[in-house]
Amino acid sequence: MKKDVRKAIIAGNWKMNKTPSEAKALLAEIAPLVKDAGCEVVACVPYVDLAVAIEAAEGTNIKIGAENCHWAESGAFTGEISTGMLKEIGVEYVVIGHSERRQYFGETDETVNKRTKAALAAGLKPIVCVGELLWERECNITEEVVARQIKLDLWDVTEEELKNVVIAYEPVWAIGTGKTATAEQAEEVCALIRACLAKLYNEAAAEAVTIQYGGSMNDKNADELLQKTNVDGGLIGGASLVAEKFAAIVAAATRN
């Protein structure tokens, strides 16, 4: 039912893994396994792998994404990459505001918002990550934390632009820890996010947004998570580095 109005997206977040030659090999392994996918398949890879990955994905149904972008078009921002640079080489998606960037690299909702707007202006599809810390969940403030992030991260994003935004709900305590949110917890927060979008925009706009779950999703738990009405896909870290596991998650999204 939900697939009538929105697209399921399974995206791998490779983080700081795979050299260009390893990226080429992994994509060659993944491609035949996902060729009949009934969902969008994306691999978000390190900057230096992008060109090779785009070449390797040519003629397949795999889309390539970056793991970050800067908001300025150019200038004195040593070590950063602009949206124009990504766009010119054929990147389609970009992960923004991943909890590892918030945690280790000082990313704030303000910079997430700037990067999101820049990505949209360049014609990239941002995968905007939100999610609560364990401490925040224990204090029972998940709802307000996530609502605040959605409001700030999408500040000044128009209803038209929202059509190209993907939200990834990633409880920080579940990322790379092997602790998955239960399907009920994932559904509860993804539904909250959708309600928040409905308040900020309107019901129809909110219904059309793809909301992924991320946090130790794997080949074993994907079906249960993806069966939920408001879980429209996954942002996958560890399991995206193993072709068979990633393909099994894509198969689960195709089934559900």
Q: Which residues are catalytic?
A: 98, 170
CB of 16 to ligand PEP, least distance (A): 11
d(CA 79, CA 73): 14
Helix (H) or strand (E) holding 149: helix 142-153
CA dihedral 161, 99, 235, 162 (to 10 degrees): -10
Binding mask 33-52 for ligand PEP (x = CB under 6 A): --------------------
Residue 236 within binding range of ligand PEP, rule CB under 6 A:
yes
Residue 214 within binding range of ligand PEP, rule CB under 6 A:
yes
Residue 112 within binding range of ligand PEP, rule CB under 6 A:
no
Strand ranges for the chain from DSSP E: 9-13, 40-44, 62-66, 93-96, 125-130, 166-169, 210-214, 233-236
Query: Is residue 132 within 8 Å of 142, Cβ to Cβ?
Result: yes
- The residue written with tokens 């038209």 in the block is 160
CB-nearer residue toward ligand PEP: 199 or 220:
220
CB-nearer residue toward ligand PEP: 27 or 181:
181
**Nearest-CA neighbor of 83 among 162, 75, 91?**
91
CB-nearer residue toward ligand PEP: 162 or 235:
235
Residue 252 identity: A
CB-nearer residue toward ligand PEP: 214 or 233:
214
Q: What is the DSSP string of 48-105?
A: GGHHHHHHHHTTSSEEEEES--BSSSSSS-TT--BHHHHHHHT--EEEES-HHHHHHS
Using CB atoms, what's the residue nearest to ligand PEP? Answer: 237
Residue 85 within binding range of ligand PEP, rule CB under 6 A:
no
Interface with ligand PEP (CB under 6 A), residue total 14
Residue 111 within binding range of ligand PEP, rule CB under 6 A:
no
**Nearest-CA neighbor of 64 among 77, 50, 79, 74?**
50
Residue 238 within binding range of ligand PEP, rule CB under 6 A:
yes
CB-nearer residue toward ligand PEP: 13 or 83:
13
CB of 2 to ligand PEP, least distance (A): 21
> Which residues 1-20 are close enough to bind ligand PEP by CB under 6 A?
13, 15
Binding mask 169-188 for ligand PEP (x = CB under 6 A): -x----xx------------
Report the interface residues with ligand PEP, using CB under 6 A: 13, 15, 170, 175-176, 214-217, 235-239
